[in-house]
Each structure stands twice: as structure tokens, then as C-alpha cells.
Structure 1
Amino acid sequence: MTETNWQLVADGLGHLYAGPAAEQYAIASELAFPLAPGTPTPVAAALLRAHLAKPLRLREHPPIDEPEYDYLALVASETDLHVPVLEEIGSRDLLDAWLEVAWARRTVQHLERLRPEVGDIAVTVRRRKPEEDRYGQISSISLNGRMNFRGGLGRRAWPHTVKHLAKVGDADHGELLARAREEVAAENRYPERVTNRELALLDKWKVPRRSSLADWRALQEALDSATEERPMQVVLENHPALLANLITGNHGVWVRPQVRLGDQYVSDFLIASQTSAGMRWHLVELECPTARLTNVGNQRESPTLRHAIEQIQDWREWLKTNLLATREKIPGITIDARGLIIMGREDGTDSAREIRDRRSVNDRIEVRTYDWLLRAARRADSMAWGLLDEETGDLEQDW
């Protein structure tokens, strides 16, 4: 379990060295066993176990050696905790109890020093490279006092290892936050892999089937009368299978409409598919079905197509600096997510094959028409793979 309030964690740890619990006093009284009032709770438990070891035939604990005791003495000295001498402790069970108390006291003292809150940036020493600092943005605090950092991957630190804590609003918070996010991205070797908990965040957008005749008919009718982008957005929101069947997803496909990226951008759709390799995301930009892909005469990219390409490039740039926070809502997304632009109709005077191929290879952006989307819907039942995956897998397709 975790907490977001450091004081609650500190209070819970403080009970460990506040004295014996009421139940321990009751047991000691029944056994006529003297239990000093200031005895820490874990130590009281170890003393009671030692007292009952023979009658209850409990496991005997091996004796301790000097290095073990020296470590306890070192941790205890950091918090002015008085511990018995080596000979008085005797067993490893009792030493472990005193060590638990020493760790708790040290953790509480440093929690009180730092007063960490969610969003703060902790600067710690890198374990394997002590000459380098490590940066982590606090997401929660475990009940044992260890601070957990955003990004998973076992990123966490004990309070006593923190050299500096940048609070939200401090002058250096923004710079250190950027470093923390860079570290997470660099350490995550498999960003496409997601947990079941993360997948659960996408449940409402999961598409359970391939596109049907009804989906195709709805798209055809919208396309026959649409003179702007909005009707196409609406029909695809109402019939997400039209987009879902474009992508191969052996373990599921999800279609999210109108996804906000910060305060500046909104993608028309995000499509995700899960295979054994993990999640793959596609950034989808819709344009008007009457728009041209190329300019009349020179066959270069039309202003509308250039705008759509720039939109996807802007989204990727935004992801570069906001990737960690974005993955909390869009698990598995990467900064190089493939782009898909759907615009215009097929027209012999508007051939953009060279443009499409160049953008696919150089920018990982696919450019397709609404007629192509119709064809994908018609052949959905017979497709083992998504049409877009077939085409980007070096299989020749007409469009």
C-alpha cells in the first residue's frame, strides 16, 4: 500500500518506537514477563518470542556476528537511538527488530526534513555510479517510508538518500523535472509493454469486432454528402470499428477520439493495437474529404496535406517533452508513434503515390484517402491483418 501524505506515513512508523502495543502488554502480564514501557514494538515482539521459544518449540535463531551488529550501531547512531551491546542482543531475531526500529527512526527524521509531496523532484545518488545524480518525480510514499517515482521500473528511493528536494514551484523544479523524465525514457527498454492495470485504463475504448456492413454503409452515406471534416469525425466516432480494423491487434485494438495533448493540441483519433511485442499507437489526423492531396499543376503537397503532416509532427514534438505524464493516460505510447492522415477522394488528377511513399519512409506518416478507408471496411471479414499493416509491410496495395 502507498500514501500521498508523508505525515501519515511518518506517524505510522513512529508507532514502532513509541512503546509496546496494548496486546503486547497484555501478553507480558499473563506471562509475568517484565516489559519496559519504552521498549519499541518490534523489540517487544522479539523479546516475547524469545521468552516463549522453548515452551512453544519455536525455531531457534542463530547468533549474530560483529559486522551485523556494527551495521545496526551505525544506523542507530544517525538518529541517537540507544541499542543494547552485542552480548545483550544475542540472537538475529532481536537484532532484526532493533534494526527495524533504527530504520524507522531514520526514515521518519528524513521525512520530516524533506516533507515530500507528490510532484516534488528528489535528487539522489545513483547506486552504481555514485558520482552521478539521479532524478525522480515523487508519485507516492510506501508505508515503510520509501518514496516511489513516476515511470515505474523500480524507480524509488529512501528519504535518507535524498540530497536535494525540489518542491513544486521552486525555481529549479522545471529543469529537474525534465531530467527525471529523460531518465525514465532512457531506462525503459521496452516502452511498448504495458501492465494489465494500464490496459484497464483503455477499457471504454476497446473495439470488440471488425467493421460490418452497417459500418461501411454509414461511412459511405457520410462520404457521399460531406463537404467538411466534421461529418467524417462523427461517423468514425460512432463506428470505431472502421478504424480498428486497419491495424493488426492479436490481443486487442482500441480507438480513442478527440484526445487532448496538453492545452494546445487535440488529435482526431488515437488507435492502439496490442500484439506479443506490446502496444503500438497511431496518431490519426482527419481532413476534409473534398480536399486535394496535391496542388493542381505541380503535383506537390497541397497546403491542407502539409498542415496535416505538421500537426502530427507537432504532436510528436509535444510527446518528447511530456512523454512520462502522457503514458499515465495513454500507456505504451512512444514519441515515434506512426501517423495516419485520411483526407480527400481518389482522383486521377490527384495522384500522390510518390508523396505517400516518401512520407511513409522518411517520417512514418501514412497518407490515405477516404475511398481507401471504404475498401478496408468492405474486406474486413477476409483480412487476417489490418490493411494499413499489410501496406506498410511492403505489400503492394492499390488505394
Structure 2
Amino acid sequence: MEISVAGTDWKKVVAGLRLGMDGPSEEQEALAACLGFSFAPETPHPVAAAFLRRRAAASLYLAGPRPVDDSEYEYLERVCAETGMQAPPRTAVPSRDILEAWLSVAWARRSVQHLERLEPHVGDVVVVPPLRHGEENRHGVINSISSDGRLNFVGGRNRGARIHRVLRIIRPDEADYDDLSLRAREELAQSDPFPERLTRAQLGVLEPFRVKRRPSAADREALREALDTATSERDMQELLEKHRSLLAGTVKGNHGTWVRRQVRLGSAYVPDFLMASETSAGVSWHLVELESPTARLTNPGNQRESPTLRTALNQIHDWREWLADNLLSARKELPGITVQSRGLIIIGREDPSDRADKIRDRHSRESRIEIRTYDWLLRAVEGEGIASLGLLDLETDDLDVDSWPS
């Protein structure tokens, strides 16, 4: 018997579970008659199937029966007691496959009872007990309902809870829904130990922005010509939008490189570019802020950060703060991004009077923000051999060994 599952409607899930708790089907009764026995009318469908397999085991060369020990049967009794179901006598459970069939019925009955009690819907916030004693309760947002009644949470990767473990469900119209929904998102973002390892579906989100080639002679010449005439950040923004391989050429992912322009982060922030590169270690992101090629990195008098550079640094810090508060929603468009993603500021031209080595080193070391000039960008895409792996990766010692040439 095939059970139809909607995945989002608890009532349909309950209907499917009830089908599995029904008595034997006509087909099962006919097979039993052929084998010379019959079922009691109340024999649940899964149990009938297990008895059929056991009676036909020798003819079908199936494995012999596995005995049931006392602890297994006591567990069955406990689950049955939770649901008000009469446990079968010990003598009616001669093998483990029969016991597991009875357990499937008891589990289904338990799920039905709690689904009908809680009436969960997609989008509800769920509160479940902690994984370890002494920790706080956990939270999740329902994304779907499995055929066995398990609640699956937003974020995937097997996040969810069995329905009988749920302490509380909060609807979108309840007063504390927004606070607990935010808490669920924060817990989700913090619980992912490997956000950089993307699924096939997540890589599909990035696919439209993949850069499929290294910078060409035409790309490099367009950059040289722009640097001869550009007077503003906008000039360089337009150039790099047309020639995305120029930015992609600064990093190298042996499994892919992607460049996105002006992705909106909430209502307040729009980075100039976001770059992602994938190696065997996963995807890493760079937050890119452009400034004018005529801007200085330092003040002429005291060699401290220029106001333009300080503004660019603050921009990246602001983006990271937004990511810290909105990481889950950000990963819908930017899978694998983290609050620790590196920053890259491209500003000004190389000028002997505009020395900023100490400033660069400090921000790279303390804030993971790299400060480079447009002349550096030109060198990065003109390089041959080892530099073709991505000059930024080489300079920041962030290169995966799988990216080295064979």
C-alpha cells in the first residue's frame, strides 16, 4: 500500500499514518489464505506484512527469524502505554521483524495523537527540549512534515524534531512569534559547523553568477584604458560589472568562482561586489568595496588612514554586523557566507608618497580586510603561472592545496 504524503498539511499526514494502522488489506488476506492461515481482523497492516514475510521466508530464501530480547519487548510495551494502545502478548511477538512491525504501528499512533493535539503548520515556531541536560530549549521554524509525522525545520541538513518531543508551537499571530522566530534563525546559523560546504541546490543558486574563464587580453586592456581616464568609483564599478573576470581573477576556486554585483543587504547596505570561490574545503566569500582610483589611502601629512579609506573600512564592518543579525536570510542568496568572510577594498593608485604598509598589515591581521590599489588589480590579472591561481589567495595565505597546478 502506498501512502500519499503532502509534506505541508498535517491532516494529510495523519490520514496517511492512519492507513498504516488499518487492518490487513484484501491482498494480504488472499496471500495468507494461499499460505494456509488467516489474520484477525484487527491485525495492523504492517504486522500482517511481517507475518506474511515470516511464513514465506523459507520459500523466498529470506533470513531466519531473529529472537526478541526482554529490553526490546519492554520498549514496545512502553511506547504502546504512551498511546493507550494494548501491547501484543509476548508470545505473539516471536521475532524482531514482528516486533518492529508492531513498533511502527505504535509510533504511527503516537504521531497521530500529537499531530492532532498540536496541529502544526509550515511557518510555525517549534520549541523542543535541549540535546544535553542543563542547556536551554531549542527552537526551529517548520518547513515541512514527513510521512512519519516528524517536523522538518528551515535550514535542512536533518534539522527537525519528532512530533511527540515538541514542547510548544507558536503561531505567526502570537505575541512572541517574532522574537522566537529570530531566535530560531540565530540558533540555525550558529549550529551549522560547515556553512562553506554547499549542497547541489545551494550551488544552483550561485550558478547564474559563475565566471567561467580567466581574464582575457581584452579584459586587461579595458582595465588599463579605464585607469588612464577614470576619475570616480562609478567609472570602475561600470568597468568591473562588464568584465567580471577581472575580479574573479584575484581569487581562484578550483571548483568554481562567482561574482555578484550590488547585492542588497536589507534596506541599508549594498556592497559593490561579492565574490565566492570554491575549493575542496568549501566556498569562501569576499566582500568587495570599491573607491575612486584617484583617492588616497593615507593623509599626506600624518600617513594615517584617509577619510575615504576609513569610510570603506566602516562599510565592511557594517555589512558584517548586518550579516551577524541576518545570517540565515543572507544565505538564501549567498549560500555559505559567514560573518568572518574576508573584506577587500580596492582604492587609489600606487604612489611612493602614499605608503600604507602598516595600515594594510594591521587590518589584514586584525579584521581580515585586505586593502589594495587598482595597480595591484592589474598585476593580479596580468600574472602568469602561479599568479594565475589568484594573487589575493597567495598574499593572504588562504589558498587550498587542491588549487595548485599539477
Q: Work out whether the TM-score is over 0.5.
A: yes
Corresponding residue to 2:219 among 198, 215, 219? 215
For 1:207 and 1:236, locate their aligned partners in 2 and report how far apart those are by CA, in whole Å: 12
2:293 aligned partner, one-letter code: P
Deviation digits for residues 34-92 of structure 1, max 9, x if unmatched? 34444322122123334434555543323423332222122122222233222233332
Classify 1:55/1:364 alpha carbon distance in 2 versus 1 (closer, same or farther; 3 Å).
Answer: closer
Corresponding position of 1:386: 390
2:349 aligned partner, one-letter code: R
- Offset at 1:348? 4.2
Corresponding residue to 1:234 among 232, 235, 238? 238
331-340 or 167-176, which moves further after superposition? 167-176
Q: Does 1:126 align with 2:117?
A: no
Corresponding position of 1:8: 12
Classify 1:66/1:348 alpha carbon distance in 2 versus 1 (closer, same or farther; 3 Å).
Answer: closer
Once the two structures are aligned, what percentage of the paired residues are identical? 56
1:233 aligned partner, one-letter code: Q
Classify 1:382/1:361 alpha carbon distance in 2 versus 1 (closer, same or farther; 3 Å).
Answer: closer
131-140 or 362-371, which moves further after superposition? 131-140
2:383 aligned partner, one-letter code: R
Given that 1:210 and 1:380 are in contact with CA atoms closer than 8 Å, whether structure 2 keeps it comes out as no
Classify 1:328/1:61 alpha carbon distance in 2 versus 1 (closer, same or farther; 3 Å).
Answer: farther
Secondary structure class of the residue paired with 1:3: coil
Gaps of 5+ in 2: 399-406
Corresponding residue to 1:267 among 271, 293, 296? 271
For 1:131 and 1:277, locate their aligned partners in 2 and report how far apart those are by CA, in whole Å: 31
231-240 or 181-190, which moves further after superposition? 181-190
- Offset at 1:349? 4.4
Given that 1:211 and 1:380 are in contact with CA atoms closer than 8 Å, whether structure 2 keeps it comes out as no
Given that 1:150 and 1:324 are in contact with CA atoms closer than 8 Å, whether structure 2 keeps it comes out as no
Deviation digits for residues 339-361 of structure 1, max 9, x if unmatched? 01112233444443333232222
For 1:41 and 1:167, locate their aligned partners in 2 and report how far apart those are by CA, in whole Å: 35
127-136 or 254-263, which moves further after superposition? 127-136
For 1:86 and 1:50, locate their aligned partners in 2 and report how far apart those are by CA, in whole Å: 17
Corresponding position of 1:286: 290
Please give the residue correspondences for 1:40-189 in structure 2 after superposition, counting only pairs within 5 Å: 40-53=44-57, 56=60, 58-129=62-133, 132-189=136-193
Corresponding position of 1:306: 310
For 2:24 and 2:177, locate their aligned partners in 1 and report how far apart those are by CA, in whole Å: 42
Classify 1:266/1:20 alpha carbon distance in 2 versus 1 (closer, same or farther; 3 Å).
Answer: farther
Aligned CA-pair RMSD: 2.8
Secondary structure class of the residue paired with 2:259: strand
- Offset at 1:284? 0.5
Secondary structure class of the residue paired with 1:165: strand
TM-score computed with the length of structure 2 as normaliser: 0.86
TM-score computed with the length of structure 1 as normaliser: 0.87
Secondary structure class of the residue paired with 2:326: helix
Given that 2:126 and 2:169 are in contact with CA atoms closer than 8 Å, whether structure 1 keeps it comes out as yes
- Offset at 1:385? 3.4
For 2:329 and 2:264, locate their aligned partners in 1 and report how far apart those are by CA, in whole Å: 13
Classify 1:60/1:215 alpha carbon distance in 2 versus 1 (closer, same or farther; 3 Å).
Answer: same
For 1:333 and 1:35, locate their aligned partners in 2 and report how far apart those are by CA, in whole Å: 58
2:389 aligned partner, one-letter code: W
Given that 1:28 and 1:48 are in contact with CA atoms closer than 8 Å, whether structure 2 keeps it comes out as yes
Corresponding position of 1:191: 195
Gaps of 5+ in 1: 395-399
61-70 or 271-280, which moves further after superposition? 61-70
Secondary structure class of the residue paired with 1:201: helix
Given that 2:249 and 2:388 are in contact with CA atoms closer than 8 Å, whether structure 1 keeps it comes out as no
